[in-house]
Amino acid sequence: MPDDSLLHKLRPGALVLALLAAGFLLLPHMYGNQSLLFTLMTFIVLTQGLNLLYGFTGYLPFGYVGFFGCGAYATSLLVLHAHLPVLACVAGGGLAAVLMALVLGPLLRLSGAYFSIASLAASQILYFVVSNTNLADITGGPYGLKIERVFAPDASYLAMLAVLLLTSGLAAYFRSSRFGMELRAMKQDPTSAAMAGIDVVRERLIVWLVSALVAGLAGGVYAWNLSVFYPDAVFTLQISVFAIVFALFGGVGTVIGPIVGAAVLYTLYSAIGISSPQYFQLIYGALIVLLVLFLPGGILSLFTRRGIRVF
């Protein structure tokens, strides 16, 4: 029998998913720049995926981009060498990111800045491996990979929307379920949570793997959409930084916060960051300083301060 209380708690999440689906299906016809909307969806997925880990467990991975790049490369290599259907290759990219997360599982024994820096080092190691000229016959080295034969911007756009809905659905489940409550208890006090019977190690690993999966899937769809990319494009630290800042700006530990943060800041970036990067950096820096000083809980904390519950 389904848990009626859980179904009731998930209703706001279902509304968020419906609005996301409707919005990103209609916007290409209204706005016309499907490429920008695709990139926005990519950043929302990565922001939400990072939120699953940081917002619910407190583990902040500076090297989160490593899972994204792993998914992009694994997908492309499967397209080039395995000749599988492209969606199967994308799924393989997600699986590769999960396997990478399993290998890096011991990093979860660290905490705080030690974990963050170690995850960054791991992503950089992977970057140097795929960009190595000695492996150019396999990974393309610094010259990147080309999978033009599967280029399909409309299909990859819908695939990224599906990944976005999956990731936001997972965030809604974490926010509403008993599992999510256990994660928040672990975040506040892991020792007390363990004494209360919560398997801290297992649940933390589950979230780590889920977070890696969505980043890997996003990387796979991103590679499919671009069809030609270079290591610097999918392993750049800027992707991790954007995801972290977007999540903090909107509000971590929520479903809507990462979506709002990514939508607002990426729109600002696309409006002035490309044409006038110096002004964008000034405005961006000022926003971050103001956020840290006055709204450490993100802009959604404006509502919670007034007693309005934010999902």
Burial class, 141, CB count within 10 angstroms (exposed 0-12 / middle 13-18 / buried 19+) = middle
Quick check: 139 and 81 in contact, CB under 8 A? no
DSSP 144: -
Instruction: Read off the pTM.
Output: 0.92
> Is residue 147 within 8 Å of 74, Cβ to Cβ?
no
Residue 67 to residue 217: CA distance in whole angstroms? 9
The least confident of 27-36, 128-137, 284-293 is 284-293
For the chain, the residue count is: 311
Contacts with 119 (C-beta within 8 Å, 6 or more apart), sequence order = 61, 62, 63, 64, 66, 104, 107
**Cα(93)–Cα(69) distance, integer angstroms:** 9
For 297, phi then psi, to 5°, come to -90, 10
- Percent of the chain at pLDDT > 90 equals 59
Lowest-confidence range among 171-175, 256-260, 297-301? 297-301
Q: What percent of the chain has pLDDT over 70?
A: 92
d(CA 65, CA 224): 17
User: 269: how many CB neighbours lie within 10 A of its CB?
Assistant: 19
Q: Map out the domains of the chain as residue ranges.
A: 13-236
pLDDT tens by residue, 40-54? 999 999 999 999 999
Give the separation between CA 34 and CA 56, rounded to whole angstroms.
32
Q: Residue 145, SS3? A: strand
pLDDT for 290 = 82
Residue 296 phi, psi (nearest 5):
-65, -20
Give the pLDDT band of residue 15 (cuts 50, 70, 90). Answer: confident
CB neighbourhood size of 92 (10 A): 20
Helix (H, G, I), strand (E, B) or coil at 82: coil
Res 16: pLDDT: 82
Asked if 238 contacts 89 with a C-beta cutoff of 8 angstroms, the reply is no
Token pair, residue 225, equals: 């959409």
